[in-house]
Structure 1
């Protein structure tokens, strides 16, 4: 098995999670990391014996010894790093979103085809067993003709102290459910209406609501708010050790049945005198000292498609580009207070 040399751009909490998973995969070697935080670079190098450190991600990209670039940096840098990496003939994994503009997303898709490299976006929910099970139920016609999908995804308010200055929530949180909705409806979106509100006073709104209409007449709604109280039950208590909650639900309504999944209330709970925990056990669990769950399945799948030089049948880049088109329309609709036709 040929060794794949990997460079990671961005070694914050999630970048280090990627690093741990990729180190577990056979034939993969993390040879370089890039970040603007020099002290963090040195710490991660010491803990993981990484050979090369870069404070300029473009220098990492230009290294001819690197086969794969894994982009786990801030959302607004995804597009430019991915475009540059593809131009240098690298296979690219991009943590969601693919970019923060539809124009960049389209360029990434076109360049990937021209350069014959594999590009995949980290739409992790597609690799989470409950969401994948819903997809299977739809494909097997257990629900009949789908009429409506309803989704929500709420986050802890204290997290917005960071994200509210960084990115519109449709690209950070909403993109998960836009991707799932696209996966389930399997049809182009033709109409978008959205509204938003800025409660906390940051650069970006902390809540938005949208209704989407698809070519096959399915109607989908998505609500997202970063207002979950600190005293709410915590569910991100394993691996990442985040102090907070992702409260996500999705419901699919068909002519013969319905399917729904609630991420924040799996049935498992821990009650103590200090707190109530609902540990999330599908996304990135620690299993026998290794990182498992959807994050492991996702990155394993990417390494497999790179080795086989074939496009992903689970998370094709076209869907990520389409999700960006819808995300941009949501932002435009909320700003202009009108329906956007796609």
Structure 2
């Protein structure tokens, strides 16, 4: 098979990481890039030797190219849904960074188009390709934990990062979707009821913390807490390959009637002490090793390419799970805003229950 020709949309820090990993794959060629910011576009093109005629400020111009097999969407959250829809209409396979969209209506439209066009659509929920989270899934599927009764999860981010997101998107679509995706994966069935609360401490358009309780059709109860309030003195853990000045403090606990599985992303198993502070380098997501960038990001992008080459949808990251995550995320926003419990029907239709105990 000839090399898979991919166009990248979004040439920021994470988009450039995608290009670096894709260039490690033998059967892939990144031939075009798009970004709305001309200086970023020019700098990325220079870094990776991409010709000026293959650079676009309008992502739709890139999508309309008939010599591309797939697009990799790493742009801002609200652009994801419309760009995925456009890519499918032009016959492209798609990998899109989380979230799939910011509305359940867009997500359902994407699912319909994916079936109609027979193209692959995969959401970059990287945690599914991270070894600890994948090991928890194996322990569930093998019966080691027995019947799963409850899942407890949290994901907190540095307060300084919220300046970029507070007026941009509700945190359920930025931080929350990571844990929601894992919860849906581990539960193995649909969520039917959602209660949620939120609080705005920073004065931005969107709240900087929220909590949610989810009930699934098999009786499993899951909780999710997320905040963007980790102080600047928190241990630095994104210091491998993609350096970010801050902390991701994530934990998940899956409790069954035969066993419990836990993972803490910000654990002190590997530490570096310096005069400027303490680091807990995270080494599962995108570590740099002797053969290049590895970890979950390499597994994720390799899997996407392999599924296109095999012309098979992903069993690890099925689109239907990502669509359901968008339905749950939307229900969390509604439940917190209205102070009501939200019921999710099998078709994603929401019903509200005023005065219901949350």
CA contact (8 A) 1:196 1:209 kept: yes
Deviation at residue 273 of structure 1 after TM alignment:
2.1
Aligned pairs for 1:78-227 (under 5 A) are 78-227=80-229
**CA RMSD of superposed structures (Å):** 0.7
Aligned pairs for 1:250-261 (under 5 A) are 250-261=252-263
Distance 1:273 1:57 in 2: 44
- Aligned partner of 2:283 among 249, 270, 281: 281
Give per-residue Cα distances to partners, 1:76-135, cap 9 Å, x unaligned. 000000000000000000100100000000111110110111110001000000000000
- Aligned partner of 1:76 among 71, 75, 78: 78
Distance 2:269 2:293 in 1: 22
Distance 1:289 1:35 in 2: 29
- SS class of match (1:243): coil
Give per-residue Cα distances to partners, 1:234-261, cap 9 Å, x unaligned. 1001111100000000001111110000
Distance 1:168 1:289 in 2: 38
- SS class of match (1:177): helix
Deviation at residue 44 of structure 1 after TM alignment:
1.0
Distance 2:37 2:190 in 1: 41
- SS class of match (2:156): strand
Distance 1:190 1:43 in 2: 47
- SS class of match (2:316): coil
Give per-residue Cα distances to partners, 1:152-188, cap 9 Å, x unaligned. 0000000000011211000001000000000001011
Distance 2:292 2:308 in 1: 23
- The normalised TM-score by structure 1 is 0.99
- The normalised TM-score by structure 2 is 0.95
Aligned residues: 342
- The answer for the alignment partner of 1:48 in structure 2 is 48
Distance 2:272 2:302 in 1: 31
- Structure 1 stretches of 4+ moved >2 Å: none
CA contact (8 A) 1:266 1:280 kept: no
Distance 1:74 1:50 in 2: 22
Q: Does 1:339 align with 2:344?
A: no
Q: Does 1:263 align with 2:265?
A: yes
- SS class of match (1:70): strand
Q: Does 1:7 align with 2:7?
A: yes
- SS class of match (1:24): coil
- The answer for the alignment partner of 1:241 in structure 2 is 243
Distance 1:8 1:117 in 2: 17
Change (3 A) 1:221 1:301: same
